[in-house]
Amino acid sequence: MTEADKGFSRRHIVIAVDGPAAAGKGTLSRRLAEHYGLHHLDTGLTYRATARALADRGLPLDDEALAAEVAATLDLSGLDRAVLSAHETGEAASRVAVMPAVRRALVEAQRRFALTPPGAVLDGRDIGTVVCPDALIKFYVTATPATRARRRHDEILANGGRADLAEILADIERRDARDTGRTDSPLRPAADAHLLDTTEMGIETAFEAARTLVDAALGR
């Protein structure tokens, strides 16, 4: 049954999902997008793809003008987490993400994406605070660093890879410090965000909680 069949009025919907690495925001966002028939953008991939494009061309990561130029020409339709998942790519992404000119270029593209009818779920670090401050509803998804490290570790093993839990935890803590400590658009919950701590509840329960809140925001 489509949303129209159910008698719901169609309006442009934007859902903002923020939080640190491996908190479960990607899974939650995909589930919400599927459920409400919305587009989904994992904005972490835009920073990853920018860092990767620089590395592939042998260009330095710390030249802000150059990195912003690359960011401005990024094609959002071709982003693939499988291709951009490497540990080092995430680390490089968080280094290009501190540069204001890079953020300006990517935020512009992310806002254009959010305007695509009938709306979108965007997940990242600054969606509720900077990219889409007027989103219908905002979530801040978190979990303890140890839980997030264990999840990332299990995921790598499940995909046939090898990983060291202590190294993953150190990486997560380093990335949290860089993301929360930067001057431009630091990672923090928007004042009006709903907090979802997935340490105990797990991602499926988080989805059910989020769905109830979105339905309420839609007046259903």
**b/e burial code for range 4-30 (CB count within 10 A of at least 16 → b):** eeeeeeeeebbbbbbbbbbbbbbbbbe
Q: How far is the CB of 1 from ligand C5P (least distance, A)?
A: 33
179 near ligand C5P, judged by CB under 6 A: yes
Bridge-based pairing state of the strands 13-18 and 39-42:
unpaired
Contact segment (CB under 6 A) with ligand C5P among 5-13, 66-74, 90-98, 139-147 equals 90-98
**Which residue number, 91 or 197, has a Cβ lying nearer to ligand C5P?**
91
> Are residues 2 and 124 in contact, defined by beta-carbon separation less than 8 angstroms?
no
CB of 216 to ligand C5P, least distance (A): 26
Measured from the CB atom, the residue of 153 and 179 that comes closer to ligand C5P is 179
Give phi and psi for 77, each to the nearest 5: -75, -20
- CB of 104: closest distance to ligand C5P in angstroms? 12
| Span interacting with ligand C5P, options 88-96, 148-156, 202-210, 212-220, rule CB under 6 A | 88-96
CB 108 within 8 A of CB 132: no
| Cβ neighbours around 85 below 10 Å, total | 15
User: How do strand 119-124 and strand 39-42 relate by DSSP bridges?
Assistant: parallel
Q: Which listed residue (24, 119, 124, 128) binds ligand C5P by CB under 6 A?
A: 124
Summarize as ranges the residues that interact with ligand C5P (CB under 6 A): 21, 43-44, 47-48, 90, 93-94, 97, 124-126, 175, 179
